[in-house]
Amino acid sequence: MSRGSELAERLDAVRSRIRSAAQACGRDPGSILLLPVTKFHPASDVGRLRDLGVTAVGENRVQDALEKAALYPDVPVHLIGRIQTNKANAAARVAAVVHSLDSTRLAVALDRGVGLAVDRGHRPDTPLPVLVQFSADGDPARGGVPEAGMGELLDTLSDCPHLRLSGVMCVPPLGCDPADVFAAAAELRDRFAAAEKRPMELSAGMSGDLEDAVAAGSTMVRVGTAILGPRR
C-alpha cells in the first residue's frame, strides 16, 4: 500500500470515529477540528494530508514546524508541544495557534516575538491565538498550569497585545481517567468564555481517548499515531 493510500485509510477511520462520537452526544461533527500530529514524520506527509482535505496540522517542535510551514505554507501549523522561551521568536513567526502556553515568561516572550514578526513582515498584524495548557496534576515536568495558577497567567495575558486568549488545552496524566480531566478542562474553558464574553476552544483528545474528549466538548482533537502510524 502506498503512503498516500495508508494515510487516506487511517484518516477516514479517525474522521468516522469523530463523527460517531459527535453524533452520540448531539454535536455537529463539523464543529471539531481534526489536527493530524506530524511529529517525527516527514514533511511530505503534510502535503499528502493536505491533498486529503486536511486544513491544519499539529507539530510539537518549533524547528520541525518551521521546515513544514516553509514547504507547505498553505497548511497552518498549530504548535502543541512545550515551547522554550528561547524559541519563542521562531514559534511566534510560524505558529497559526499555540496550544501550550504554560507560563508568564512564555507569554511575555511570545508577545515580544509576535511584535517582531509583524514588524519584519513575517506574519500578519493580528494577535496570535494561544490556548492555556491546563495541568490536572500540577506536575511541572509535564508542562501546563494548575487551576490555582491561572489567575496570574491571565493577568499577564491581558498585558500582551499581540496574543489572544483562545481557550484551554489539556493532556490527561497517566493513571488518570481522561474523561474526568477533559470535564475539568471544559469547565475551565467555559469560565474563560463567560469572562471574555466570546467562544473559546478546547484542545483535547488524542488517538486513544478522542471519544471522551468529544463528549466533553473538545473542539480540537490532536491525533498522531492513529493517522500517521508509529513514529519513524
Q: For 52-57, what is the mean pLDDT?
A: 98
Distance CA 153, CA 110 (A): 13
- CATH classification for the domain delimited by 3-228, as one of 3.20.20.10, 3.40.5.10, 3.40.50.10860, 1.10.3720.10: 3.20.20.10
Domains of the chain, residue spans: 3-228
| Nearest CA-CA partner of 189 in 134, 144, 116 | 134
Predicted confidence band of residue 138 (pLDDT cuts 50, 70, 90): confident
Torsion of CA 150, 151, 152, 156, to 10 degrees: 100
b vs e for 74-92, b when ≥16 Cβ sit within 10 Å of the residue's Cβ? ebebbbbbbbebebbbbbb
pLDDT at 232 over 70: no
pLDDT digits (tens, 9 = 90+) for 7-36: 999 999 999 999 999 999 999 999 999 999
Q: For 150-156, what is the mean pLDDT?
A: 96
pLDDT at 43 over 90: yes
pTM recorded for the entire structure: 0.96
